Amino acid sequence: LDNEMGTKMRKVGFTFNEASLKSLDDMWARSGLPDRAAVVKQSLQILQALQTQEAQGYTQVSVRNPETGEERFYNGSSLDHFLRN
């Protein structure tokens, strides 16, 4: 398949258990993205960026709420640790 920009595309299918499908649907509802595929694509891009940082030795992820100034830190030498929390 080719998209409107001439980029080669492949159609793939995924099987989700009920809990994972609910998580995907919740993410989709909050995202404003056009479809589940866009949510999966964005999630993969974020994971790839985190893996790249981990490969460069980074072991901490921080998030900040700009309204309250509150910060949270996720520590660990493995993304698995971050993804479980």
Q: What is the reported pLDDT for 77?
A: 61
| C-alpha–C-alpha distance, residues 8 and 1, integer Å | 6
pLDDT at residue 84 is higher than 60: no
pLDDT of 20-53, one tens digit each? 999 999 999 999 999 999 999 999 998 898 888 8
Cα–Cα distance measured from residue 19 to residue 25, given in angstroms and rounded to the nearest whole number: 10
Amino acid at 4: E
pTM for this prediction:
0.73
